[in-house]
Structure 1
């Protein structure tokens, strides 16, 4: 029997902070507990929300972005998910129409209806005007509304009446417990002792209108043409990847690409004092939260010695954002405390309260542009001259500096390897003598 497809919704709002992640996580966890197969995607570049959403649904959460990921790859992933799942949820980014491309652009590209999350804590009937504006401005298909932070049954009724022809699909009352946040977003789920209890509580408190939900039509999107096979340029090579609470900003798609390139992946934890694996042919130090673990990283002597030895031996090392911070001379926090790092890269990292970089960017390489993004609250004070700069999208303005020192490539830029697998392979290939 042919698969009927999946109910597909893009969860969006007027702005950040309205409860998109909370609602998406609560809905995913609740449906999973009902025996539904749920797949969740995140619109736009993000590492933190996907970790929480993965915990909620029990499956890897991939990125959808019409520029970074590309139209065909987004189509392929959506089609595969709809064939494997009963429900596909896509959490939007910022407000529905924010960004180039926006979540609304993604909705229209794949004919996916929008589930609007409204923070109803300080409004009632005006909710209808807001939702109709969200629908008509684009326009987009509007599947329904989730009213977040509903105070009472009377409040719910006023909101529902204001929506006119748009169904109130679900409500979520004001929550006693919030998902904890910090400067780059939500606290990582592995750091919250009772995260599963919080997710279950949110799922319990989300009131879903079953009749309205059943009225949503399952869809099976058109499958994209298969991509050209990725040549195994890293066949026989072992890529050592730092992965722990300090190095955790890893797109699942990046790991997929490295495997498709033929690489064997070995994970290690600098925070636990583990050295670079002895059989490594290349090293990837992804971004994360080194600023929260400076004392442990500063005291990880075996890690310091091993990354210096890898650099001295000419092993290709890619250090992205937090990874770059962790191989500088030092990191100084906002209170002036300074911690020494392995000093592969000359210069010191200074944490700051205000955002230093945000947005989609492309990095030039010999194999063409590698697309990705940047998001950080620090800056590198160094005398080393950049070898290149990324290019901001869509403005074309100068973006992040890219540094090379021996076999080290370092930048605040986070690359999305699937946007150009050949460029990604080049970052882990040893230069010809």
Structure 2
């Protein structure tokens, strides 16, 4: 793009405003015009980045001033800006929610905020809500790109919303109410990979409903990242040299930060994907197994019959080679998994416990695990719980960043298991040790 890279942070007053739908629609409109777009997601999230990657055709990374860190977030943005015309950053929850919040990130990196509000049941109050978001700043220096309305019913409805905006707020456009919105389930949106055949129809509906003032957005100044504190020294690249890490990657094990896999490779590991759901055994020559989270509860009947996978995992464990199991991965390592209907399914039996799917959120938020090798940061977000057998005690407890209680970290032989999802770049030395074993 002539004049440099533009950057936008799409944020609103709450979750459920349609940030993912709008960001994808905007990305596809720009890509269709021949522009290069890179997407980012603020905070811990495995699902929304999949849609942004499908819309942009490029890798999507998470940004967070605490979990990822300011220096690493700046590095990711700068690297993307070197090869893109637009950086589209999707916010999390509301603009001022969390510590750090999307507003904190926008201020730290001088990214203009495009305010998105669900106006589906709203008229002139739209202007009051937009004005409140703009004026609330609490000492933050924010720049604004405009205001966008979502779930607009008609051209007349759009006119009412536009006319409700007081100066200096600028109307940037609207997205009509979509007849085929992105479907949801208990952990958020249904994953993009599950909707692959239906995505073209969803994209077409979003594109038809997008009415945008691209001239206003293109008038924004080119983005430059302000100076950031220096990054911490990186550990030696050879910490995992010569080690093969097998990573479960399929519909049951899909909640994995791409940045984690990149770090393992950077530390020298050979990362090899395999599919437990397809009853693939742990690959030959594997030194460590990584079982990320995902939706094992949705595939429990099929997983319980994956004997080749479970036999190879038990053998791997018996040989005291490391297994790192996060959230859903931990549930699969339990004796049994009790699904939402109360049915029990046999699992690996490496952790003396029953994994139970609940109907209410059991843990959420940013957490840290203070290991002997440093503080590993990450998050928890789960509906499941673990009913451990008597005498099974946690080896460690994570610390919540703000609210909620700690999460247990269990170590049984060479297995390390927890509902905690670590972001490995926050402490590469601690991450490497997980795959080196006790």
| Contact map agreement 2:407 2:418 (CA 8 A) in 1 | yes
For the 8 Å contact 2:69–2:426, the answer to whether it is kept is yes
Partner of 2:204: 200
The structural deviation recorded for 1:197 is 2.6
Structure 1 residue 149, shift from structure 2 partner? 1.1
What's the secondary structure of 1:236's corresponding residue? coil
Match of 1:123 in 2: 122
Residue in 2 aligned with 1:74?
Answer: 73
Residues 40, 90 of structure 2: 8 Å contact kept: yes
Q: Helix, strand or coil: the match of 1:31?
A: helix
- Is 2:396 the partner of 1:394? no
TM-score (structure 2 length as normaliser): 0.95
- Does residue 173 of the first structure (1) align with residue 176 of the second (2)? yes
1:81-114 per-residue CA deviation (whole Å, 9 max, x = no partner) reads 2221111011111111111111111111111111
Deviations 1:332-363, CA, capped at 9 Å, x for gaps: 11221110001011110111100000000001
User: 1:373 deviation in Å?
Assistant: 0.2
Question: In the alignment, what sits opposite 1:291?
Answer: 297
Quick check: 1:79–1:222 contact (8 Å CA) kept in 2? no
2-side partners of 1:402 and 1:20: how far apart?
A: 34
Query: What is the TM-score when the length of structure 1 is the normalising length?
Result: 0.96
For residues 132 and 44 of structure 1, the distance between their equivalents in structure 2, rounded to whole angstroms, comes to 25
Partner of 1:90: 89
Deviation track 1:203-226 (CA, whole Å, cap 9, x = no partner) reads 232111132122222213246556
Contact kept, 8 Å, 1:332 with 1:350, in 2: the verdict is yes
Say what the alpha-carbon RMSD is for the aligned residues. 1.5
SS in 1 for 2:21: helix
1-structure distance, mates of 2:206, 2:143: 27
Give distance in 1, aligned partners of 2:274 and 2:105. 36
Query: Can you list the C-alpha shifts for 1:380-418, whole angstroms capped at 9, x where unaligned?
Result: 0003100110000035x6410000011000000000001
- Is the Cα–Cα contact under 8 Å of residues 247 and 322 in structure 1 kept in the other structure? yes
Kept after mapping to 1: 8 A contact 2:280/2:309:
yes
Q: Secondary structure at the match of 1:203?
A: helix
Matched, 1:146 2:148: yes
- Asked whether the 8 Å contact 1:83–1:220 carries over to 2, the reply is no
CA contact (8 A) 2:179 2:205 kept: no
- Paired residue secondary structure (1:59): coil
Structure 2 gaps, min length 5: none
8 Å CA contact 2:242–2:269 kept in 1: the answer is: yes
Q: Using the alignment, how far apart are the partners of 1:87 and 1:400 within structure 2?
A: 38
1:365, distance to aligned residue in structure 2 (A): 1.2
**8 Å Cα contact 1:9/1:90 also seen in 2:** yes
The answer to whether structure 1 residue 417 and structure 2 residue 424 are counterparts is: yes
- Output aligned runs, 1:21-420, within 5 Å: 21-138=20-137, 140-164=142-166, 165-192=168-195, 193-222=197-226, 225=230, 228-231=233-236, 232-383=238-389, 384-394=392-402, 398-420=405-427
Secondary structure, aligned partner of 1:135: helix
Residue pair 2:68, 2:423 contacting (<8 A) in 1 also: yes
Q: How far apart are 1:25 and its partner, in Å?
A: 0.9
Q: Residues of 2 paired with 1:359 and 1:275: CA distance?
A: 33
Q: Answer with 155-164 or 287-296: which moved more.
A: 155-164
Across the two proteins, how many residue pairs are aligned to each other?
Answer: 429
Q: CA contact under 8 A between 1:368 and 1:423: conserved in structure 2?
A: yes
